[in-house]
Amino acid sequence: MYTQLVETGMKGVKTLEDMSPQERAWQEKINGGVKVEPKDWMPDAYRKTLVRQISQHAHSEYVGMLPESNWIGRAPTLKRKAILMAKVQDEAGHGLYLYSAVETLGVSRDAVYADLLSGKAKYSSIFNYPTLTWADIGAVGWLVDGSAIVNQVPICRCSYGPYARAMVRVCKEESFHQRQGFDIMVALCKGTPEQKAMAQDALNRWWWPSIAMHGPADEASVNSAQSMAWKIKLNSNDELRQKFIDQTVPQIEFLGLELPDKDLKWNEARGHYDYGQIDWVDFFNVVRGKGPCNEERLAARNKAWDDGAWFREALTAHADKQDAANLQQAA
């Protein structure tokens, strides 16, 4: 099974008629575009779904720092290095806003983080692929952040206030990330034939995981119908995947690179690009923890947690001392 099927108690999407008067009034507020805030009543299943999605999103930001930080020490110029460091720091910040948003739902950050460290919680499939060359840093910024923006801009309008507000700043920063990635690709494509070949190779390897990261096809997406009824998701996985493909193909052409999929063709009748078959077997393998870098990513996050133990202990000891001093002063 590729989904945790978080026990929400739901059997299909409830209609207004199936709901208690309290839930119905709440759903009608959501239908009318009113935001849900932490102290408001909300159905337990809505809360659990938000904890699942927001914590997975936070974990993705934290794990997502790893493939890129791999290149900080090897960036080709001082300027590229400074930009990459800033980007990786931004991802840590995104994780922090998202963990704070999860905490507004009554769960502790330590508890959800423990689920990442134990391998119980998911994080985005995309971060289980290796960054083999400098061009991969261009491709990650351009394609992965590009996909993330397409997914996250609608979340700025989602029904849960703290999640929606966190996404506003995240999306602004992701736009900068996407441009820095594209800028690396432009430099490589205008460079030597070897540099252009490196850019092509990175595109070929990152294209498919970047379109798969939008999640399973709509007919296999177990959570979408309910999440869309609750306006946690405003678009289906396939809608967002198509939007990303449509906006990215002209960018590939601008770079003068070959299309990474022979079936990518403009379909006049649909007004969209058609695309080839995604390798869902590979995707679900990665989601189940069997991707090229899953073990390495979890090991890195566990090592960082263990290495930071002394710092957490020092902070607690300092806070205890402060409390004791304050008590003494008050006495």
In the complex with ligand FAQ, the residue whose CB is nearer, 27 or 237, is: 237
Tell me if 124 contacts ligand FAQ by CB under 6 A.
yes
Which residue, chain included where needed, has tokens 């002209």?
250
CB 146 within 8 A of CB 110: no
In the complex with ligand FAQ, the residue whose CB is nearer, 196 or 232, is: 232
Nearest residue to 205 via CA among 270, 113, 143, 269: 143
Of the candidate spans 40-48, 71-79, 119-127, 161-169, the one that interacts with ligand FAQ by CB under 6 A turns out to be 119-127
Kindly identify the residues of this chain, within the stretch 163-222, that bind ligand FAQ according to CB under 6 A: 213-216, 221-222
In the complex with ligand FAQ, the residue whose CB is nearer, 98 or 189, is: 98
Q: Kindly provide the b/e burial profile for residues 170-191, where b requires at least 16 CB atoms within 10 angstroms of the residue's own CB.
A: bbebbeebbebbbebbbbbbee
Q: Please give the C-alpha separations between residue 166 and each of 96, 160, 170, in angstroms, as whole numbers.
A: 10, 10, 7
Kindly identify the residues of this chain, within the stretch 41-70, that bind ligand FAQ according to CB under 6 A: 52-53, 56-57, 60-61, 64
In the complex with ligand FAQ, the residue whose CB is nearer, 24 or 47, is: 47
List residues bridging with 160 in a β-sheet.
36
- Pattern 6-45, binding to ligand FAQ, x per CB under 6 A? ----------------------------------------
Binding site for ligand FAQ (CB under 6 A): 2-5, 52-53, 56-57, 60-61, 64, 91, 122, 124-125, 140, 144-145, 148, 151, 213-216, 221-224, 227, 233, 237, 287
